[in-house]
């Protein structure tokens, strides 16, 4: 790294080809899943000194960037950070890929079909690159952390200019510098997580709702899951930094924040000299004057009593909890490495239903885990009925290279898996409709986000319990929380009418 730093300090125009050669030696850093699996003891440092070097602050002036985001909210938020960095370099956002000078694909590795979509898109980009040789194309996000993906891009898609991972997005200016001024593909993927960089710029999508990272990484290592390899070990942001960010968002008129982490309930477990956990954080955030606070995702294992008590206060803490169960069968849960049984999960749900007024749940489910029997699958159907989830995101198990489950033999055919998914989805929909019907005639508070996608005359927003409501109303309602009377419940949406003094009188 020493060489690179000394080269970096020279102004760009004074650099020799040797300087660039050195640069590339140090930036050809492909990933290793084996290294990514290791969990080390050393402390994570927090930095507040991010800056874009002077020579890169104007390279984007008159140029445009386009970022396509796949995957979860974590990626959505990383895209906001990359947009912030690119704007700091003078680039301007565009919604048209063809108009862009820099295209980034922020990728997801969670299932094979997520990856296939990205490879399809990479194929589409080739003609664009041929037409516009100065275009820079970068692949980032979780797929970049996988060796097999990087090797495939190096071999089959050499027109890609940059590959960088989830731990070094703050290096975007240097990565772009390498791609702009060098001839080789820049590959910079750190297998080991980096430190926490606090002061990264962000361009948030919208001014009503905002994402706030509270922690990075995952140490759970569920046997099917690639995330602990692509996102590194669990690192929590300091409470004061999170609280300050939320206060700042509240001052700027944001109505809702969603706290992000792969496993938010593990927040603070990594602090060595501070006894402060997710319940404490929620309790502190509860006191901030922002109307709505949500969080995702909760792992059932770390959901402690203190957190339940804090959530029971309600107010700006929403009574909707996304609590992935994955399977309703204890033996499958055990092989998945989830570290809870069906009974423990149900006990947690029971406790929350008892203590958090009117709480609702959504979940994630994997069907067709290796060797799942019909009876084990039926346990998943029965837990659906027992908990009565308002929504469930259901997936067919997809083997991920490098994970323990990918090495398991599997005697369940794809046909059976698809048939199980259909049966599960039918039940999910039936329950969702039944739960939605309860709202007919009720008045709910809706945070109005904008016009409905299908009809510009109709406004659309979310209830406290995260249900989509469509209703007719004035555009001035956008960005506000308004009362809506529900007229008709559908499976995934509620139709209603705005409650005004006139509608109440009539």
Of 201, 168, 210, 202, the residue nearest 187 (C-alpha):
168
Residue closer to ligand SAH by CB (options 190, 303) is: 303
Q: How far apart are CA 448 and CA 466, in angstroms?
A: 12
Q: How far apart are CA 339 and CA 330, in angstroms?
A: 9
Q: Is 215 in the site for ligand F3S (CB under 6 A)?
A: no
CA dihedral 244, 246, 248, 249 (to 10 degrees): 170
- The single residue listed with the structure tokens 């994570």 is 44
Residue 187 — left, alpha, or beta (φ > 0 → left; ψ -120 to 50 → alpha)?
A: beta
**Options 138-146, 197-205, 390-398, 408-416: segment touching ligand SAH (CB under 6 A):** 390-398
Output the smallest distance, CB 139 to ligand F3S, in A. Answer: 13
Q: Is 262 in the site for ligand SAH (CB under 6 A)?
A: yes
Q: Is 36 in the site for ligand SF4 (CB under 6 A)?
A: no
Q: Which of 44, 110, 185, 387 binds ligand F3S (CB under 6 A)?
A: 110
Q: How far apart are CA 70 and CA 321, in angstroms?
A: 23
- Map residues 42-81 to x or -, x wherever contact with ligand F3S holds by CB under 6 A: -----------------------------xx-xx------
Q: Is 366 in the site for ligand SAH (CB under 6 A)?
A: yes
Query: Which residues 6+ apart lie within 8 Å of 467 measured at CB?
Result: 390, 436, 439, 444, 493, 494
Q: Is 104 in the site for ligand F3S (CB under 6 A)?
A: no
466 binds, among ligand SAH, ligand SF4, ligand F3S, none (CB under 5 to 8 A by kind): none
Output the smallest distance, CB 353 to ligand SF4, in A. Answer: 23
- The single residue listed with the structure tokens 């194929």 is 123
Output the smallest distance, CB 283 to ligand SAH, in A. Answer: 23
Residue closer to ligand F3S by CB (options 71, 461) is: 71
The tokens for 468 are 């989509």
108 binds, among ligand SF4, ligand SAH, ligand F3S, none (CB under 5 to 8 A by kind): ligand F3S
Residue closer to ligand SAH by CB (options 218, 310) is: 218
Q: Is 221 in the site for ligand SF4 (CB under 6 A)?
A: yes
- The single-letter DSSP state of residue 326 is B
Q: How far apart are CA 412 and CA 367, in angstroms?
A: 10
Q: How far apart are CA 209 and CA 249, in angstroms?
A: 9
Whether the Cβ atoms of residue 381 and residue 428 lie closer than 8 Å to each other: no
217 binds, among ligand SF4, ligand F3S, ligand SAH, none (CB under 5 to 8 A by kind): none
Q: Contact positions toward ligand SAH, by CB under 6 A?
A: 110-111, 224-225, 227, 262-263, 297, 299, 324, 326, 364, 366, 395, 397-398, 400
């Amino acid at each position: 790294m020493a060489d690179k730093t000394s080269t970096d300090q020279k102004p760009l125009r004074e650099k020799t080809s040797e300087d660039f050669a050195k640069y590339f030696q140090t930036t050809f850093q492909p990933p290793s899943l084996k290294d990514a699996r290791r969990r080390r003891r050393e402390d994570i440092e927090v930095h507040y000194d991010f800056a874009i070097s002077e020579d890169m602050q104007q390279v984007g002036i008159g140029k445009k960037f386009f970022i396509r985001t796949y995957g979860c909210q974590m990626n959505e938020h990383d895209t906001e950070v990359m947009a912030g960095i690119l704007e700091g370099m003078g680039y301007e956002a565009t919604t048209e890929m063809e108009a862009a000078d820099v295209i980034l694909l922020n990728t997801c590795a969670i299932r094979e079909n997520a990856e296939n979509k990205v490879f399809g898109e990479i194929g589409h980009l080739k003609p664009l690159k041929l037409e516009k040789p100065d275009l820079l194309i970068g692949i980032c996000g979780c797929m970049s952390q996988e060796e097999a993906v990087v090797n495939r891009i190096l071999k089959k898609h050499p027109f890609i200019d940059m590959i960088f991972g989830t731990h070094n997005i703050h290096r975007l200016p240097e990565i772009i510098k390498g791609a702009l001024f060098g001839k080789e593909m820049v590959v910079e993927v750190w297998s080991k997580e980096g430190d926490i960089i606090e002061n990264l710029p962000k361009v948030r999508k919208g001014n009503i709702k905002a994402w706030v990272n509270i922690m990075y990484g995952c140490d759970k290592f569920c046997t099917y899951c690639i995330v602990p390899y692509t996102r590194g070990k669990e690192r929590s942001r300091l409470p004061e930094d999170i609280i300050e960010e939320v206060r700042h968002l509240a001052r700027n008129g944001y109505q809702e924040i969603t706290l992000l982490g792969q496993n938010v309930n593990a927040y603070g477990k990594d602090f060595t000299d501070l006894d402060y956990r997710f319940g404490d954080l929620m309790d502190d955030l509860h006191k901030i004057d922002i109307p709505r606070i949500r969080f995702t995702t909760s792992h059932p294992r770390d959901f402690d009593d203190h957190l339940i008590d804090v959530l029971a206060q309600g107010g700006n803490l929403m009574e909707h909890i996304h609590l992935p169960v994955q399977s309703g069968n204890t033996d499958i849960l055990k092989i998945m490495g989830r570290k809870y049984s069906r009974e423990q999960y149900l006990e947690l749900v029971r406790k929350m239903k008892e203590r958090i007024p009117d709480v609702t749940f959504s979940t994630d489910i994997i069907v067709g885990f290796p060797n799942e029997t019909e009876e084990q699958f039926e346990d998943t159907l029965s837990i659906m009925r027992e908990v009565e989830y308002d929504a469930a995101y259901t997936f067919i198990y997809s083997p991920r290279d490098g994970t323990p489950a990918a090495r398991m033999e599997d005697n369940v055919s794809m046909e059976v898996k698809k048939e199980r998914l259909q049966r599960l989805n039918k039940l999910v929909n039936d329950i969702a409709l039944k739960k939605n019907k309860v709202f007919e005639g009720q008045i709910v508070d809706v945070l109005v986000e904008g016009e409905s996608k299908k009809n510009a005359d109709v406004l659309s927003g979310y209830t406290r319990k995260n249900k989509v409501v469509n209703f007719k109303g004035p555009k001035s309602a956008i960005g506000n929380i308004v009362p809506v009377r529900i007229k008709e419940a559908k499976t995934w949406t509620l139709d209603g009418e705005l409650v005004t003094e006139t509608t109440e009188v009539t």
